[in-house]
Amino acid sequence: MKKPERHILVCGSFRASGTPQGTCAKKGSHGLLAYLETELSDRGMIDVSVTATGCLKACDRGPVLVVYPDNLWFGGVEGEDAIDAILDSLETDAPSGYELT
C-alpha cells in the first residue's frame, strides 16, 4: 500500500465513552464524507485519504476537518462549498479560507 500524500480527518463527534459531544455530527460531518471522496476522485487527487474520527475536541468550531501532514485545522465546514474551498487550496498548495487559529 502506498502512503497517501495527505490525510483528511473528519470529526465524527464521538468520544471513547460513546457519548456524542459537540456539533460536528449534529451539523452533518458524516454527510460530508461521501462528497469528499467523490470530489477527490473527480479532481484526480488520488494521493489523499479520508477518515472519519472520534471527537477532535474543537466542538465550538464544528464541523471540523484536519489535513495532515500539513497540520491544517478547518472549522465551520458546513456543506460542499466549504469542502470545495479547502480542496481548491490544497490543489494549489496554498491552504487558506476556513483555517482554525
In degrees rounded to 5, what are phi and psi of residue 80?
-65, -35
Range in 16-20, 68-72, 83-87 with the lowest mean pLDDT: 16-20
| Domain encompassing residue 55 | 6-91
- Domain CATH number, residue 13: 3.40.30.10
Residue 96 in any domain: the answer is no
pLDDT at 58 over 60: yes
Region 20-40: what's the mean pLDDT? 86
Output the nine-digit C-alpha cell for 17.
Answer: 465513552
Residue 1 in any domain: the answer is no
Residue 42 in any domain: the answer is yes
Region 43-51: what's the mean pLDDT? 94
* Number of domains forming the structure of the chain: 1
Helix 80-91 vs helix 29-42: angle between axes, to the nearest 10 degrees? Answer: 40
Give the DSSP H or E segment for 33.
Answer: helix 29-42
The radius of gyration computed from the CA coordinates of the chain, to the nearest angstrom, equals 13
Region 8-35: what's the mean pLDDT? 82
In degrees rounded to 5, what are phi and psi of residue 7?
-135, 125
pLDDT value at residue 18: 62
Mean pLDDT of the chain: 85
